[in-house]
Copies of this chain bind each other. A is one copy, B any other.
């Protein structure tokens, strides 16, 4: 295995210079794409789609066929791990994910064990291998997992929650039980991500989607140490290449310094923080991934280009260590053509910024914006060396 032809994403994560800012989008293979909906219909259900490596591979590649994205991300669900732990994942229409056997009893928590990913999660590893083959070293493949705290939220609540009543009760009443769940889950996530790396994932991301629902102190006790533990156990190098890690705590803008400290290569940031401020706060310790408001994709191509330009400019003209992304998963209501506008704008504008046009003359970028506004973004053009 060698580096992919387009390794801008990997280089950005390692804070090496890149010619432009690489971009991919959280949930880029998703319901906003008609071809995704079609494959999902064929699969029968979301879960069957996740569990079928050929179909998971198919939907993983769909956004790459449409857009000049600089990375692919494994199509899967964060709840495959608790499902493999025996909790019985199912999806009820319009209600999101649910577990048949949520973790509420002390005996069930004591009995919990980390599943062997090569056994119960083999379908994920098969998907990773199949996607790598299909990608044929064009762009890198990202593997991922939910964070222990986020997984524990679902495992204890048994479903999505607005008030996290069950897990917060456990957290404050029986922290020992929650630590037991988190500890087993951290082991499971470590093994799961390492199996993905061994199967061909070239970078890994941990989604701490619900870490932001914790108090500052509880985050330090119940989410961060387990993220640190996972990062410490990850395979750092596979086939001679570094495998960078990204940690994304949604709503974690207040805690960036402590996240930067756990040893990950990059931090995902949501759109509530100015990315320039985030960069100043973490310095050169880590790369940053983000952080356009997903709501921008409801706007016109001109506005999308302008807003993407603001994120790039705020990060800084040199762009080193920046992976462009949304601050959260793409909405199912996004018009697919708007993603073309975004990806092209990120590539074109970040090249322009690096070339110094912007630094030498602020007017130049304004003029560029004018041009974009009247002619629309170039369509189908490729700023992607891969």
For window 237-267 of chain A, which residues contact chain B by CB distance below 8 Å?
A: 251, 253-254
Is the interface on chain A under 10, 10 to 19, 20 to 34, or 35 or more residues? Answer: 35 or more
Q: Is the Cβ of A251 less than 8 Å from the Cβ of B272?
A: yes
Contact A272 B303 (CB under 8 A): no
Complex: A295 Cα to B214 Cα, angstroms: 9
A310 interface contact, C-beta 8 A: yes
Whether the pair B172, A214 counts as a contact (CB closer than 8 A) is: no
Contacts of A272 in B (CB 8 A): 212, 214-216, 219, 251, 254
- Interface segment, one of A46-54, A79-87, A125-133, A160-168: A160-168
- Cβ–Cβ < 8 Å partners of A212 in chain B: 272
Task: List the B side residues contacting A216 at CB < 8 Å.
Answer: 271-274, 277
Contact of A293 among B168, B173, B300, B331 (CB under 8 A): B168
Q: Which residues of B contact A299 (CB under 8 A)?
A: 169, 172-173
Chain B CB within 8 A of A65 CB = no
A336 at the interface (CB under 8 A from B): no
Of the residues B168, B273, B310, contact of A298 by C-beta under 8 Å: B168
Chain B: CB-nearest residue to A166:
B298
Task: Tell me the smallest distance from the CB of A178 to a CB of chain B, in Å.
Answer: 12
Q: Within the assembled complex, what's the spacing in Å between the Cα atoms of A172 and B342?
A: 14
Distance in Å: Cβ of A71 to nearest Cβ of chain B? 23
Q: A253-B254, A254-B272 are in contact. Are A295 and B165 (CB under 8 A)?
A: yes
Residues in A lying within 8 Å of B, measured CB to CB: 163-165, 168-169, 171-173, 212, 214-219, 251, 253-254, 271-274, 277, 293-296, 298-300, 303, 307, 310, 327, 331, 333
Q: Can you list 21 A-B contacts with CB-CB less than 8 angstroms, sorted by A residue number?
A: A163-B294, A165-B298, A165-B331, A168-B295, A168-B296, A169-B298, A172-B295, A172-B298, A173-B298, A173-B303, A212-B272, A214-B272, A215-B271, A215-B293, A215-B327, A216-B271, A216-B277, A219-B272, A253-B253, A253-B254, A254-B272
